[in-house]
């Protein structure tokens, strides 16, 4: 029975036409001996694949599984092992292909066989998404992109949908593009940039393991590889979407104007970051202090800024430009030692000629205090109001007042050494003179 849909939208008429074609195809299959024989072949191929898989899969798992052994083939064997769920649908596909030639030679028809092979490929894609892929993003992409595409392919509608999307053109301003371009861009763009992120992570880990390179060179290499990977991904995506790269020249000009005005600070910080990585005067792990008062350990260097971590756990984001145009003190460059001093005072009753030797010997006992470049040096600094002022200078590898408390430890050593030598540490003293004498009390 045919329906009159002339007053309906074109898409409804097309859907009705496809439904009629599917009905006529199914009816022809149900009434055709050739179709029934092909259905029988598909069922036989699938059942045979099930029997073979039940015996073959455990044997393959025992052969491929490396167990606890660690060698050069361990990682490849574990990678191959995870694809065993594909054995059943692919084996059914192969067995169906073997019998397809026989059926076509007898009945000169193989449409049902072709449909069955597409169904087996759909089953393989389903097993891939459900049992093999573990990455959350790839599983999401497989569920909402690969599975619908394979379902359309199994039903023989992929070309129809592709043509429909190609003919549907949308426009934004003066730009016009087809829906298939949008779909292709979303799918391949997501896949390319995930692959770029994965490649960047693996490459960064490989570069970080190379301790022969300076930290600054490692950071620069990581950034260069990152830009190259995502640059190539962007160019591939433009080609996949069919966008002429020469059309990006106008966009590049607009970006250039933007950099000259609103984005000049971003461009300045980016270029400053490249200079920092090339010179290597400050790198991750260094403790630095800037003229603006910011100080801390560099924990990360990005394209725009350097992140410092203070001793109290706070993070400070400092633009790269500040490291170029202001004075920076690096306390950790090349692992050099740092000098600190601990001030103290002794009483005026003390023989000050004995103090330097006592203090220098006491401070030298600290396990972190160095003899090179200079041993501890006790110096007379002045004569104060309450006592004689001294200070001991000492060198250590590391920074004080963070995880290390060098000055505190040295002051403890000074206190104990002075106590053992019976040298008094004075209290604040003042001499008060009352002119005219004390007032006389009345009787």
Its pTM stands at 0.52
Can you tell me the distance from the alpha carbon of 114 to that of 230, in angstroms, rounded to the nearest whole number?
40
Q: What is the pLDDT of residues 379-392, one digit of tens each?
A: 999 998 888 999 99
Q: What is the pLDDT of residue 20?
A: 55
- Given a cut of 60, whether residue 409 has pLDDT beyond it is yes
User: In whole angstroms, how far apart are CA 45 and each of 42, 96, 103?
Assistant: 5, 6, 13
Q: What is the pLDDT of residue 16?
A: 54
Band of pLDDT at residue 363, cut at 50, 70 and 90: very high
Q: What is the pLDDT of residues 301-357, one digit of tens each?
A: 877 788 888 877 788 888 888 888 888 888 775 456 888 899 999 998 888 899 999
Of 419, 352, 436, the closest CA to residue 387 belongs to 352
User: In whole angstroms, how far apart are CA 268 and each of 63, 217, 271, 272, 412?
Assistant: 58, 20, 5, 6, 49
Lowest-confidence region among 17-26, 85-94, 290-299: 17-26
Cα atoms found within 13 Å of the Cα of residue 295, Cβ hemisphere only = 15
Can you tell me the distance from the alpha carbon of 192 to that of 184, in angstroms, rounded to the nearest whole number?
12
Q: What is the pLDDT of residue 212?
A: 67
Greater confidence (386 vs 110) lies with: 386
Element containing residue 318 per DSSP (H, E): strand 315-319
């Amino acid at each position: 029975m045919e329906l009159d849909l002339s007053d309906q939208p074109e898409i409804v008429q097309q859907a009705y036409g496809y439904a009629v074609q599917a009905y006529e195809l199914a009816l022809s299959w149900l009434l055709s001996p050739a179709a029934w024989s092909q259905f029988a072949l598909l069922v036989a191929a699938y059942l045979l694949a099930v029997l073979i898989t039940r015996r073959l899969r455990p044997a393959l798992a025992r052969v491929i599984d490396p167990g606890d052994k660690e060698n050069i083939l361990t990682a490849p064997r574990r990678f191959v092992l995870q694809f065993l769920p594909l054995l059943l649908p692919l084996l059914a596909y192969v067995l169906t292909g073997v019998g397809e030639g026989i059926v076509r030679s007898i009945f000169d028809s193989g449409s049902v066989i072709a449909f069955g092979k597409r169904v087996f490929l759909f089953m393989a894609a389903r097993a891939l998404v459900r049992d093999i892929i573990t990455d959350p993003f790839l599983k999401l992409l497989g569920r909402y992109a690969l599975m619908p595409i394979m379902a359309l392919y199994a039903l023989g509608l992929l070309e129809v949908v592709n043509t429909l999307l190609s003919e549907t053109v949308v426009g934004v301003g003066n730009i016009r593009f087809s829906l298939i371009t949008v779909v292709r861009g979303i799918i391949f763009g997501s896949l390319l940039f995930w692959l770029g992120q994965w490649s960047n992570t693996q490459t960064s880990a490989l570069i970080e393991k190379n301790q022969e390179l300076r930290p600054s060179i490692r950071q620069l290499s990581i950034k260069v590889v990152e830009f190259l990977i995502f640059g190539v991904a962007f160019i591939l995506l433009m080609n996949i979407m069919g966008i002429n790269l020469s059309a990006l020249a106008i966009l590049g000009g607009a970006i250039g104007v933007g950099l000259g005005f609103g984005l000049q600070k971003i461009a300045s910080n980016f270029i400053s970051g490249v200079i920092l990585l090339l010179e290597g005067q400050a790198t991750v792990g260094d403790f630095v202090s800037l003229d603006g008062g910011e100080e801390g350990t560099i924990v990360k260097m990005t394209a725009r800024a350097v992140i410092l971590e203070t001793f109290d756990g706070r993070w400070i984001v400092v633009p790269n430009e500040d490291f170029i145009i202001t004075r920076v003190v690096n306390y950790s460059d090349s692992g050099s030692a740092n000098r600190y001093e601990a001030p103290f005072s002794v009483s005026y009753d003390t023989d000050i000629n004995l103090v330097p030797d006592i203090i220098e010997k006491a401070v030298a006992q600290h396990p972190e205090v160095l003899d090179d470049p200079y041993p501890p040096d006790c110096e007379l600094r002045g004569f104060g109001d309450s006592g004689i002022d001294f200070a001991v200078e000492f060198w250590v590898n590391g920074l004080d007042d963070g995880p290390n408390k060098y000055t505190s430890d040295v002051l403890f050593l000074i206190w104990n050494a002075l106590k053992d030598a019976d040298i008094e540490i004075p209290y604040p003293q003042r001499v008060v003179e009352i002119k005219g004498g004390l007032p006389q009390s009345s009787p």
